[in-house]
Structure 1
């Protein structure tokens, strides 16, 4: 158990002393950038999925007739 507690203490020390944190404004800008990219990427995947679904639907309609 002492090893686990030591690991947690060292982890907090690493985060406090050795990690370079972004400024609040930079963090906000990056958050907006990630949100916008996620929305655009999800819309692109939705569009490709819709096209493939229609193509497969037309294919099955074609082979069933």
Structure 2
């Protein structure tokens, strides 16, 4: 039990004093970048899906 208690204590100490947390503005900038990247990726995948669906529908309607 003592090992578990020491592990938890050491983990808390490391999270408080040794981890460098980003500033709020850095966090906002990173979040905006992830949001923009996700939207661009979704648009690209949506366009590819539309293109493949249109192409396959046209192909199957030929028969």
Q: CA deviation at 1:3?
A: 6.3
TM-score (norm 1): 0.74
Rounded Cα–Cα distance in structure 2 between residues aligned with 1:2 and 1:50: 59
Rounded Cα–Cα distance in structure 1 between residues aligned with 2:53 and 2:59: 10
- Unaligned stretches of 5+ residues in structure 1: none
Change beyond 3 A, Cα 1:4–1:38: farther
Rounded Cα–Cα distance in structure 2 between residues aligned with 1:8 and 1:59: 62
- Unaligned stretches of 5+ residues in structure 2: none
Change beyond 3 A, Cα 1:61–1:4: farther
Query: What are the residue-to-residue correspondences of 1:14-29 with 2, within 5 Å?
Result: 14-29=14-29
Match of residue 45 from structure 1: 45
Count, aligned residues: 63
TM-score (norm 2): 0.76
